[in-house]
Amino acid sequence: MRMNSRIWSCGAGGGAFAALAAAAFGGSSTTFEPLADHPDGRLASRAWDVSADGSVIVGRFKLGDELGAAMWVNGSPVGLGDLSAGMEMSTAHCVSDDGNVIAGIGHNGAAWEAFRWQSNVMTPLGLLSGYSWLSTVNGMSADGNVLVGHGYATTPPITDAAALVWEDGDPVSELLDFPDGVQGASAQGVVDLDGDYIVVGLGRTVASLTQQACYWDSSGTRVQLTNLPGDGSPHSAVIEGTEVGGELILVGYSSSGAVNGTNRSEACRWINGVPQSLGDLPGGIANANSYDIDASGRTVVGIGTTAIGNEAFIWRESMGIQNLRTWLEATYGIDLTGWVLQNATGVSADGMTLVGYGIDPMGDERAWVVRFASCPADFDGDGVVGSADLSQLIGQWGAMDDVTDLDGDGTTGSSDLAILLGSWGSCP
């Protein structure tokens, strides 16, 4: 898996957003929309992240023959500029929960450099000493005060990389790599804990020179994660995570020897450090990576591989890994004829908005957004109000449960059952 094409992503996942938010938002029907591109009409857009309520999407679009960092505010595109005059080559990788802080990578005229954008000002974040070829932000805390990424000394490969952190406006500093003298670490995301945070990403082990999933705890100590039962060349990374009720849920990918032998990668979820495979899409080679997770931990999105190449996936516990394109068509009747949804890069903290990019029916690269309609009785998120949801409601009968108490009167009972039965069948 190539670092520069697959791992420059992020999501401001995590935070204390409650699952009940899912009941509060959403329009009258679930929609898929290509994002409006730059007004000059040239296409080549990608979306990389989305704010907590789905109102701000960030990524890049094409300006003439150049690419520039962009945000879409309620669907309208706005260019963010670059760190120097001349060629625009910037990309926005992440946005804070409130949509006000955006970060990514630009070009300062001499080197690639990480930036932070707020109130219409793009600020360069500096280059780590010894890593003067590039710095980039891959992820941020929910409030935008902690930014993480990596730096390169020279042209990649990642064996020359250092994991970077910018904390509360301090100068860039390096996160501890594996203590073997072999560089090659990258910080991918920040998981907010109660009053604290951890940084997730990957490091290198001298034994294999492959990338290894890890996180840096609140004291900066690196914690190596276990891979899925694997082949002879283990490799893995953590991309994002969230904390739910004391459980630390991290997502990314891990190699596995379970199917297809060597170099298989599956989307992976670690719960309190224990890895579980989320799998890959059927067809093609075996290669998948999780890119984001919502605050409740219910929805994971990312990239899988099918017979036609890279395709976006959505994963939920009740339905497992699904091809996003075919699932949207089958579940919501959305016509995606001619589209290839290559990558689902972000899910909003409230779980109601997905963003990514793909190839549109005209053959152009295009950012897109999926907005789910409110369907509060679909407790398991499979797109249908059905028997599994009914069982869950019955199981909570008489209990105080934020999810199954649909009318919010403090208990799960007959009024909630009536709401559930009234919305029986496919979600809008």
Q: Binding segment for Ca ion among 54-62, 142-150, 169-177, 372-380 (CB under 5 A)?
A: 372-380
Least distance to Ca ion, CB of residue 280, Å: 4
C-alpha 67: how far from its chain's center? Answer: 21
Q: How many CB atoms lie within 10 A of CB 69?
A: 29
Using rule CB under 5 A, residue 389 touches Ca ion: yes
- Indicate whether 405 belongs to the interface with Ca ion (CB under 5 A): yes
By CB under 5 A, which span of 66-74, 200-208, 362-370, 405-413 interacts with Ca ion?
Answer: 405-413
Stretch of 35-43, 78-86, 223-231, 380-388 contacting Ca ion, by CB under 5 A: 380-388
* Smallest distance from Ca ion to CB 36, Å: 32
Minimum Å gap between C-beta 411 and Ca ion is 5
288-317: contacts with Ca ion (CB under 5 A): 305
How many residues in the shown chain lie near Ca ion by CB under 5 A? 13
The structure tokens 């897109």 sit at: 368
Nearest distance in Å: CB 390, Ca ion:
9
Least CB distance to Ca ion at residue 288 (A): 7
- Helix count and strand count (H, E) for the chain: 4, 30
266 touches Ca ion by CB under 5 A: no
| Alpha carbon separation from 212 to 120, 274, 292 (Å, rounded) | 37, 15, 18
Detail the DSSP E strand segments found in 112-217: 112-118, 121-124, 134-140, 146-152, 161-167, 173-174, 186-193, 196-204, 211-216
Interacting positions 219-248 with Ca ion (CB under 5 A): none
| Shortest Cβ 307–Ca ion spacing (Å) | 8
Closer to Ca ion by Cβ: residue 177 or 405: 405
- Strand pairing partners for 174? 164
Burial of 60 (0-12, 13-18, 19+ CB in 10 A): buried
Contact range with Ca ion by CB under 5 A, out of 53-61, 119-127, 319-327, 406-414? 406-414
Whether residue 78 contacts residue 72, with contact meaning beta carbons closer than 8 Å, is answered with: yes
Report the alpha-carbon distance of residue 150 to residue 134 in Å, rounded: 8
For binding to Ca ion (CB under 5 A), which residues are involved?
Answer: 280-281, 284, 305, 378, 380, 382, 384, 389, 405, 407, 409, 416
